[in-house]
Every structure is written in C-alpha cells, then in structure tokens.
Amino acid sequence: MTIVKASKKHPLYEELAAIVGEDRVNDNQVIISSYTQDACHLTAERPGIVVLPNTVEEVQAIVKLCNRTKTPLIPAGGRNGICGAYLPRVKGSVMLDMASMDKIVTIDEDVMTVTVEAGLRWAELIHRLDEKGYKLGFRGPYGGNAGTVGGSTSINSIGYAASKYGPSTEGVVSLEVVLANGNIVQTGTGWKKGARPFARYSAFHDLTGVFLGDHGTLAVKTKVTLKIYPKAEFITYGDFGFKTLEDACAAFLEVQKRGLTEELNLLCDRQSTDTFFPGFLDRHSEINAMFAAIAQETDEQLASRKMEIVREIALEHGGKDLGNFAAQMHWGEMFNLVQPLYNNGFWLNTCHLRPITLIPELMKRDLEIFKKHKLLKNGIKWIASCLGADRAFATGWVTIFAPDKSKMELALKAWNEMLDATIDSGGCPYWSGLLWENRVLKTVSKPFLDTYKVIKNALDPNSIFSPHVFEGVD
C-alpha cells in the first residue's frame, strides 16, 4: 500500500511501476529525503526515484530499462556506511533499496556455505545460522544490525572477526550479479550450469573479485554465497595493557601473525580507552595502550590454550594482565558497541588499513593534530582503535566526536588534517566513497586506474551503474 503518493515526475516512473507495482516505487520528495545520507556527515545528489525490488527478475528488468534509457542506477544496502559510498553523484538517478531482498536462499551443509539475497543484514544472518548450529567467518561490520551482505562486500567493509577471517570480501565464495546488459552471472563454481556455488576459484580467473569492492559501479549484486563454520561454543577473553604503544603493537603483531584470536582490538592511548570504557584504566596509571583479545573455538581446551598463549605474548612484551571485562563487553555487545559512542557527539571517521608496524607513526601524527587544535579543551573526544585484520595488518580507526553543531567546524578542520596524515603515514583506505575518493585519486597509479576503467567500460558501456564514482568529488 502507499500513503505518500509518488509525484510521478521522474521520466521512468510509469515503466518502473509496471515492473514492481506502484507500492514499491516512489519519487515524492518526502520519500527521497530519507535516502540522502548514510551514517556520516557527507552529502551528494539526491536520488530521483527509489525502487524496492523483491526479486532478481525485477532487478534485471530495472537494469535493462536504465541501460536502454541511459539512466543512472544506484544500488543501496543498509545505507549505514560511513563514507557516503551509496550517494549518487548525478541528479535523477534510480536508487535500488535492496533491503527487502533479504532471504536466506540455502544453507548448504555439505560444502559449508550459505547463499543469501544481497539485502540480508548481517545480524539476521548470524542469528539464523546460530539457530542451525553454524557461524560465519567475518561476522559483519560494526554496524551489522543494519549493514547488508551486498552493501558490505561492495565497499570492502571490515569488522567483527576480521582478525581471524579477514574483511567481508574474504568470506565470499560466489556472487550472483546483474550486468548492465541484463545478463545474470553467477561467479565461482557457478560458471557451470547447475553446479552449486561451493568454491570461488574454478576453471576461469576469479570473476568474483572483479565485483567485490566495486562500490556499485560494475553490476548489481543480488545473491552472495559465504563460507560458514561450525558454531564454536567456547570463548575465552583477555585484556592486556602496555606502557607504550610500541610495545602494544609488537605484541599485537605477534598475536596476529600466529592467528590466535577471533577478534583483536587495540586502543592506542589512554584517552581512547577512556572514551570507550570510561574508568577502565583508572587503577593502571602506567598503562597507555591496551588490547582486548577474544578466542573462539569448538574445543574448550583449545580456546583456553590460545588465550594463554596470547597472555604469554603480551607479558613477554612487557604487558600487564588487566582481566577480561573489556573483551567480554566488546564481544557481548556485538553490533551495539559503537552506537553508544554517539553520546560523545557526531563522529568523523578515518577508516583505513595499515601495517601494524605503522600504527605508532599515525598516532604520533594524530596526537599532534589533536594538540594543535586543542580538541579535548573544546570537548572533542577521540578514539584511536585498530582491529587486527587477516594476518599482519590492521584497521586504523581514528574517530573524533563533535559534541554539538557549534564544534563541527573545528572538528572538520582537524579531521581533514587527520585524513592527510593517514594517507601520508602509509595508510590505505579500504573503501573510497565521498570520504576518501579525492585523496585516493591523488595517489592511485595510472595503470591501475586505467585497468579499472577498461573493465568499467567493457561491462557498463553506458555508465549507468553509480556513474562518476572513482572520478573525484566536487
């Protein structure tokens, strides 16, 4: 049913309504207004019309329509990313709100995969798998309550359990995508007619990888097949503090190299710990940096032994055992951890990847910026945290919080300097979007970008998918 009626001014309204019905397409300003931002402060153009597809056939028909009319088409997931990736760069675009394509298609227990529609949210996927006795590898971004599998894998999201399993894209076995010409392609073992999507690398090159992290520019993802694992009931936790960030990073790197933890999260200075867990270090005045470690296994002894080894490594690097409260809260509050941080104000992020050894250099640069702008005196708190990722690198999550609108200008000034410092000190963003794109384009090698453009032109000659992404932001 429809309450706010479409204005029917968009040139494709009638044809889109013929595909999905009037209830699921709308170009009214009230409806459009709610698709104009994600979870960061950045803005771009407003979509011209929003469509809620329910099936791959509907997506296919919409893509064909847009291709025929050369109309920009923007796929959108949970829209709670923090880099403005889903926001259109041009006026009049058709936005696909994929959130209602949220079914679990199959749980294939023989080959340990789950195939889901791209609009499924991570939290629901985890809870449905949990009921069946399985878990994912990568569990979802920290905003996985609303973040979708399709959205995350389109922008290289990273988050829970990346310390062991790598970013969202690492767990992908196969994709179903709709190309600009309307073809539906299944990657991985899906190249073979009738084959189950059980392996990613098969017979041809890795076509899956072409579409991962594409920021919606190459196709619309409609299904994603992910690896699953037996549910691991045994969890051990540990918090370890260090006098210096350098010591903490050395221990952190060693734990990551040895693949001991499901999740390993570093807080780079006392202020960061205090913003996250106020009072946590009150009794440990000598501690400047700490990490929280979580090991999860199907075997109790294995889980315990892994945490013992983490402890041994920490102590060898001069660490102090702080108990396990922070680690327990961190894991127990999965997907609800970052929202309370908004109590500190609106956040400005600098999410990226970096070698663990380069974390101290970033902190040195950022602390100078914080000091220069007197952030704490102005009520602007920060959290500098790093999540172990894959093997021996980490995320760099340095976030500042503007407590109210009046402090936003100062916060933005500092934030822009932090973005420069991040790039200059060896950081590589995992997503681009409005957040990083200009800085990425300044440093990208020409052959790399040209190769991407060749692929883009070949797959989407009319540039209907998310046009002008990777071309720079005004």
Partner 1 sequence: MEYTNLSKYAEELWLCARCGDCSLADKTVASKRDVFLPCAVKNVLGFEAYSARGRIMVMNDLLNDKIDLTDDVLQWLYTCTTCKGCQETCAATAEGIKLPEMTEALRNDLVNAGYELPKHKAIEESIINLGNPYKEERDKRLDLFGERDWPEMADVIYFVGCTSAYREKEIAKTTVELLDKAGVNYTILPEEECCGSVLLRLGHKRAFDALTKKNIEAIKKTGAKQIVSACAGCFRTWKIDVPKEGHSHDFEILHITEFLDQLVQEGKVAFRSPKPIKVTYHDPCHLGRHAEVYEAPRRVIEAVENVELVEMETNKRYAHCCGSGGGVKGSHGELADKIGANRIKEAEETGADLLVTACPFCHRGLVDGAKYGNSKLEVLDLPEFLLPFMVEATGKREVGENPLKTEFMAYLSNHPKIFDGLKKDAVIDYDIEGDRFHLVIAKKGQVVVYPIRAENADVELTFSKGAVRKLVTFESEEEYAKQFGLFFKEPTDDEWIKFNLRLNLVKLLMKGYRKFAQKAGLI
C-alpha–C-alpha distance, residues 237 and 297, integer Å: 12
What is the pairing mode between strands 220-230 and 113-117?
Answer: antiparallel
Task: Indicate the residue among 334 and 384 with the shorter CB distance to partner 1.
Answer: 334
Using an 8 Å Cβ cutoff, are 114 and 103 in contact?
A: no
> Is residue 38 within the footprint of partner 1 (CB under 8 A)?
yes
- What does the DSSP assignment read for 281-319? TTT-TT--EEEEEEEEESSHHHHHHHHHHHHHHHHHTT-
Q: How far is the CB of 130 from partner 1 (least distance, A)?
A: 5
Residue count, binding to partner 1 (CB under 8 A):
66
C-alpha–C-alpha distance, residues 266 and 238, integer Å: 12
Integer CA distances (angstroms), 334 to 232, 283, 404, in order: 16, 26, 27
Applying CB under 8 A, among 16, 59, 146, 389 the residue interacting with partner 1 is 146
C-alpha–C-alpha distance, residues 98 and 152, integer Å: 13
Taking the mean position of all CA atoms in its chain, how far away is CA 434? Answer: 14
Site string for partner 1, 336-375 (x = CB under 8 A): x-xxx-xx-xxx----------------------------
> Is residue 36 within the footprint of partner 1 (CB under 8 A)?
yes
In terms of Cα–Cα distance, which of 123, 325, 118 is closest to 223?
118
C-alpha–C-alpha distance, residues 58 and 314, integer Å: 54
Integer CA distances (angstroms), 101 to 75, 119, 127, 218, in order: 12, 5, 17, 19
C-alpha–C-alpha distance, residues 390 and 137, integer Å: 11
Task: Indicate the residue among 127 and 371 with the shorter CB distance to partner 1.
Answer: 127
- Contact region for partner 1 (CB under 8 A) — 118-126, 166-174, 242-250, 261-269? 118-126
Among residue numbers 204 through 223, which ones bind partner 1 (CB under 8 A)? none
Q: How far is the CB of 331 from partner 1 (least distance, A)?
A: 6
C-alpha–C-alpha distance, residues 158 and 137, integer Å: 12
Q: How far is the CB of 172 from partner 1 (least distance, A)?
A: 21
> Is residue 52 within the footprint of partner 1 (CB under 8 A)?
yes
Q: How far is the CB of 276 from partner 1 (least distance, A)?
A: 9
Task: Indicate the residue among 188 and 345 with the shorter CB distance to partner 1.
Answer: 345
Task: Indicate the residue among 40 and 180 with the shorter CB distance to partner 1.
Answer: 40
- Contact region for partner 1 (CB under 8 A) — 19-27, 107-115, 352-360, 410-418? 19-27
Q: How far is the CB of 339 from partner 1 (least distance, A)?
A: 4
Taking the mean position of all CA atoms in its chain, how far away is CA 12? Answer: 32
C-alpha–C-alpha distance, residues 108 and 106, integer Å: 6
Applying CB under 8 A, among 404, 442, 447, 448 the residue interacting with partner 1 is 404
> Is residue 143 within the footprint of partner 1 (CB under 8 A)?
yes
Q: How far is the CB of 137 from partner 1 (least distance, A)?
A: 15
> Is residue 163 within the footprint of partner 1 (CB under 8 A)?
no
Q: How far is the CB of 243 from partner 1 (least distance, A)?
A: 19
Among residue numbers 71 through 100, which ones bind partner 1 (CB under 8 A)? 78-80, 97, 99-100
> Is residue 244 within the footprint of partner 1 (CB under 8 A)?
no
Q: Residue 119 corresponds to which tokens in the numbers above?
A: 């609009």
Q: How far is the CB of 175 from partner 1 (least distance, A)?
A: 22
> Is residue 229 within the footprint of partner 1 (CB under 8 A)?
no
Task: Indicate the residue among 122 and 393 with the shorter CB distance to partner 1.
Answer: 122
In terms of Cα–Cα distance, which of 224, 283, 289 is closest to 252?
289
> Is residue 15 within the footprint of partner 1 (CB under 8 A)?
no
Among residue numbers 256 through 315, which ones bind partner 1 (CB under 8 A)? 277-280, 282-283
C-alpha–C-alpha distance, residues 80 and 97, integer Å: 12
Applying CB under 8 A, among 12, 13, 19, 26 the residue interacting with partner 1 is 26
C-alpha–C-alpha distance, residues 451 and 402, integer Å: 40
At 178 the three-state DSSP class reads strand
Using an 8 Å Cβ cutoff, are 415 and 361 in contact?
A: no
Rg, Å, the chain Cα set: 23
Q: Residue 275 corresponds to which tokens in the numbers above?
A: 């913003």
> Is residue 124 within the footprint of partner 1 (CB under 8 A)?
yes
Per the DSSP assignment, residues forming a β-bridge with 26 are 50
Q: How far is the CB of 45 from partner 1 (least distance, A)?
A: 13
Task: Indicate the residue among 54 and 463 with the shorter CB distance to partner 1.
Answer: 54
Q: How large is the greatest C-alpha to C-alpha distance in the chain, in angstroms?
A: 68
Task: Indicate the residue among 47 and 360 with the shorter CB distance to partner 1.
Answer: 47
Q: What angle do CA 257, 362, 452 make, to 5 degrees?
A: 75
- Binding residues (CB under 8 A) for partner 1: these are 1-5, 23-24, 26, 28-31, 33-40, 50, 52, 78-80, 97, 99-100, 121, 123-124, 126-127, 130, 143, 145-147, 277-280, 282-283, 323-326, 328-329, 331-336, 338-340, 342-343, 345-347, 404-405
